[in-house]
Structure 1
């Protein structure tokens, strides 16, 4: 009886209508394993968080799929959000999964796509020598504090020059995604911190990781994943509705 009630609430939560306009949407995928009929099956869990034009954070949805993360699954996520009413988003914030930028433009051609700026710094440290990465991170910090998008572009070009001398292939990659890493600079300075990182969904993933650890390293069924995830997310969702981000509401008119 209790389980049936949870499933009713879960189903409504996952299919409920959404507002049409959103300031930002953050989406990330978490990967784990499920033990099914004695075999380990790979699972991809997508979670989407949105900040509305009044500054409130919402869990927009979550999607649990068997198999590895792929563009087909990302398409299902975008289509579901659209089917439920979401139509206008100023900026999507994601990791750089291969082909995702092009796919996002197909579904939301007018939205900015910001790649996680925190992961950008992590990649600079991992891909460059300690000496070069120190210089690169110094430029990364200057870009983050740039006055506007144009100034950020000039600093980014300095970073490209530095990287090109040491890792030409990586410099080509950074050139390709220049706009995606700098899109947050198109927004007012006091709201940029709400659009340049996927930390908001990665904290949810951390909760999933603790949940996985608590149940022995893998999940026993899709039902276990669905129910435990729903309970975690609905509690978080409800707590967010009491804590708006005032600065976003004050900037809403300017953004429109």
Structure 2
């Protein structure tokens, strides 16, 4: 029986009647099938011409092939001795191109749920995909993620922000909270770069020490400024691996952590006085403002004042710099902005089935977010000049001053 061919006049008439070009019953689907099978037939002809004379065609095998615009039953020619290996559509291949896979990964990187991804793919291509298929496609990110986590790093980074975010991950039949450690850097060009993601059962100085050791092993020999929260032992962990690094405690974390000790009726007035401390123009002015804060509130809130006094050296490091440098380092806002992006990706997820399901989603989000990190931060040249003065001799080998 003669195989039906693509009829141009019928296609034009179908188009005029409003039929879709693409999709399951689209006008172009028979043409795609016809062209693909013709190409496979040509491959078989070439294969037989190069092989022993006794080999010949031996019927066809059929399978469903998905394309970016439709799906159809493809007849692939077979040869008698089974030596034919088609190249256009390989033996176990079920997609004509990887466009649909790229679309699935793109939707996944936006935090789109599997249910919504299935709906999008059905709408775009007329193809039903399962959760298992989506998972298998996004699992292709895992080797790439592993290579990214193990890549070599630059020998020097002027500024690092380090923080952790917590997620629920299923383990032994129940969900447990785990910490994802995020390390965001500014490289010598002033561009943001996420150096790594690390997963641990909890957040602590010991885990940070292990992470800093890994960063050192991956090539980082010097860090000028590290911006961190108030986690106990964190500055000491940094000093163990990078003894010359200047540590700046996050002012905002310090405020959040100790405002709970201030009565709600006094918080507004206390914050107004505290703002005079951390927003002072100079270190001397800040110290005067802190003395005034203690004189006014020290009897009522000694724990709060004592904390500021005990951490003063690490809280006040940013005062040696001009405003455009201070803005970058006095908080961990830069890495917290990455965490806000992570939360957008994961907001529909109550928990994750395993560690890989979380990490591949965060990695996909990183790839998307880093597209916007193609330019240096504001005032980077001025900032670099200031850093070269304050950290004399440590930048010359890495930049042209």
Q: Give the structure-2-normalised TM-score.
A: 0.59
- The match for 1:218 is 351
Which of 245, 251, 254 is equivalent to 2:383? 251
Which of 151, 155, 164 is equivalent to 1:20? 155
Answering whether residue 142 of structure 2 is matched by residue 7 of structure 1, we say: yes
Q: What CA deviation, in whole Å up to 9, does each residue of 1:75-107 have, x standing for no partner?
A: 111111111122222211111112212222222
Answering whether residue 215 of structure 2 is matched by residue 96 of structure 1, we say: no
Tell me the SS of whatever aligns to 2:253. helix
Distance 1:21 1:228 in 2: 29
Distance 2:384 2:290 in 1: 28
- The match for 2:369 is 236
Q: Give 5+ residue unaligned stretches, structure 2.
A: 1-135, 389-401
Tell me the SS of whatever aligns to 1:202. helix
2:206–2:237 Cα contact (<8 Å) kept: no
Tell me the SS of whatever aligns to 1:22. strand
RMSD (Å) for aligned C-alpha atoms: 2.1
Distance 2:268 2:258 in 1: 9
1:54–1:252 Cα contact (<8 Å) kept: no
**How far did 1:45 drift?**
0.3
Tell me the SS of whatever aligns to 2:247. strand
Which of 188, 191, 213 is equivalent to 2:322? 188
**How far did 1:236 drift?**
1.6
Distance 1:162 1:87 in 2: 45
2:223–2:245 Cα contact (<8 Å) kept: yes
Distance 2:153 2:274 in 1: 36
Cα separation, partners in 2 of 1:53 and 1:140, compared to 1, 3 Å: farther
Large movers: runs of 4+ above 6 Å: none
1:136–1:162 Cα contact (<8 Å) kept: no
Q: Give the structure-1-normalised TM-score.
A: 0.89
Aligned residues: 253
Higher RCO by CA contacts (8 Å cutoff, separation 6 or greater) = 1
Answering whether residue 278 of structure 2 is matched by residue 139 of structure 1, we say: no
2:142–2:356 Cα contact (<8 Å) kept: no
- The match for 2:180 is 45
Tell me the SS of whatever aligns to 2:337. helix
Distance 1:163 1:13 in 2: 50
Q: Larger helix proportion, structure 1 or 2?
A: 1
